[in-house]
Chain A
Amino acid sequence: MKEHARHWLGAYLDGELRGLRLRWVESHLKECAVCHSELEALARLRTLLLESPAMEAATPPDRFVAQVALRLPRRQEQPPAQRALELSWRMVPVGLLFALAFVQTAFTIAGVLQVALSMGLGGDMVALLLPSSGGGVSFPDLAGLSQASLAGAFGAMVELIQTGGALAWFPVLYLSLLVVIGLLYWSWLATWWARRRHQQLTASNNRL
């Protein structure tokens, strides 16, 4: 026990002990004269060490800084194209996240629409939208698309859902997209890990 406490005296002197160990060493010091004198010896050693003078720099600070500045090598700058590529690479997960959000949203809306139509809730809407229905709804002319083409595209989609064709390809398409996004993400992660490991190995080889 005494030997063990002696092992911690240096750390105690350095103020590195906390909690139980600190209290243990403190209480031990009160009852152990050997450890107490050991601690005093360590404190004397510390005082003695500080008697060794620091170096008085021969070079004034300004001159030292100037000398360092003169010896600084040109640092290799990363070309802008490479920087842009690096930034794009870092943004890949964000892009994949957006793609995932888009797929989820699109398929949720389509699913809701499908359920609504199957329950007969969208009958009037279909009648209005399908070109063959002859409905008199006025669509705004968005992005240069004509009223007929907008109504046609939407109508075709609704018709496809209504006829039950979507039931077959919806889950397959949904899962395929999820798998593709997942694969892309894991590939990115694996590449990131490989690059990081390579950089760490290079850094340890090029010891500072």
Chain B
Amino acid sequence: MITVESLHKSFGEEHILKGISTVFDKGKTNLIIGQSGSGKTVFLKCLLGLFSPEKGRIIFEDKAIQDMSDDEKRDLREDMGMVFQGSALFDSMNIEENVMFPLRMFSKKKKDEMLERVNEVLKRVNLENVNSKFPSEISGGMQKRVAIARAIVNSPKYLFCDEPNSGLDPRTAILIDNLIQEITAEYNITTVINTHDMNSVMEIGQKIVFLQKGNLAWQGNNQEIFKTDNKDVTDFVYSSDLFKKIREIQIQED
């Protein structure tokens, strides 16, 4: 579980995050949504420790990152997995080396044990016989799956995903969303996903945090988001014709 209390972050004169407070639950897929420029990426980077907030606290289980020693922060990092928007696979390494990388850096396992674990997670993300290929030799969807495999290979407690299905076709995007949700439940990890994809919201939005101009404008789940009267949320959700039609059908049914 991750608890965020009154988080503020600015860049120069620009106040990006304006006192965000929320809780990301364990074993659930927690989504941060909002329009471009709403502060989603900055929020995620604060959670990851890539940006230091000016004010507020980020509490992992029961200890705030601000109160942790450097060693504790390092240990915490080892408990984090991250899936980047562009996958961020190391292009000088093949798939096996990419997935094995966190193990080589932090575990004391022998090479054959590491290899066994790599094959296990690659199988879990439905990728087999790609070990010797390089990231440039596989499709975008496969790269995302490799990124997920690399993120979970060290059995993290926290999984962060930055727009995991951007640039993917709708079918592959749903597969990736479902895979993340299954892994979250299976490993009982706290997953935080940054997205503006409404399909993801519908599919895996077990907890949704809606940001608007750096403020937390609304939070709930994928059932509640279609029933809320919050204008910012409805403007965002029903900005596409498809969802407008769904809304009209819902109103007619009611």
Q: Real complex partners, A and B?
A: no
Which B residues fall within an 8 A CB radius of A?
none
Chain A interfacial positions (CB closer than 8 Å to B): none
